Amino acid sequence: MAFQMYMVVFHGEFSQGTSRAVQQHIHKLNGFTLMVMKTGIIVAFDDSLVPAVQGHPGVKMVGGVTLSPHGYAADRLQRIFAENLSKQIQIKTE
């Protein structure tokens, strides 16, 4: 599995229903939502699943995301991504 970050852009104007449906679709593919925006979402999933995500009717475009380690907001974005990711990961205890 080669997880990558992607920006997924929605068709048309922002809709809670579309956003939720696309996020659920990605979650079913074992992906994670890192950030929600008005135009789409930033997610992480296995790169082999790009066609499956692009095939969702609410998705207009899927494009790769890379943060510059020296970028102005990279540290802040990484903290936001980590916080949102931590809310989605279930820790198994025995």
The closest of 7, 5, 88, 87 to 54, measured between CA atoms, is 7
Q: Indicate which CATH number applies to the domain containing 69.
A: 3.30.70.80
Would you say residue 92 lies in a domain? no
Number of domains forming the structure of the chain: 1
Domain holding 57, by residue range, is: 3-86
pTM of the predicted model as reported, rounded to 2 decimal places: 0.82
Residue 93 resides in a domain:
no
Residue 91: is its pLDDT beyond 90? no
State the average pLDDT over residues 51-64: 96
What pLDDT does 46 receive?
94
- Order of all β-strands in the sheet with 40-46: 32-36, 40-46, 3-10, 59-64
What is the spatial distance between Cα 4 and Cα 1, in angstroms, rounded to a whole number?
10
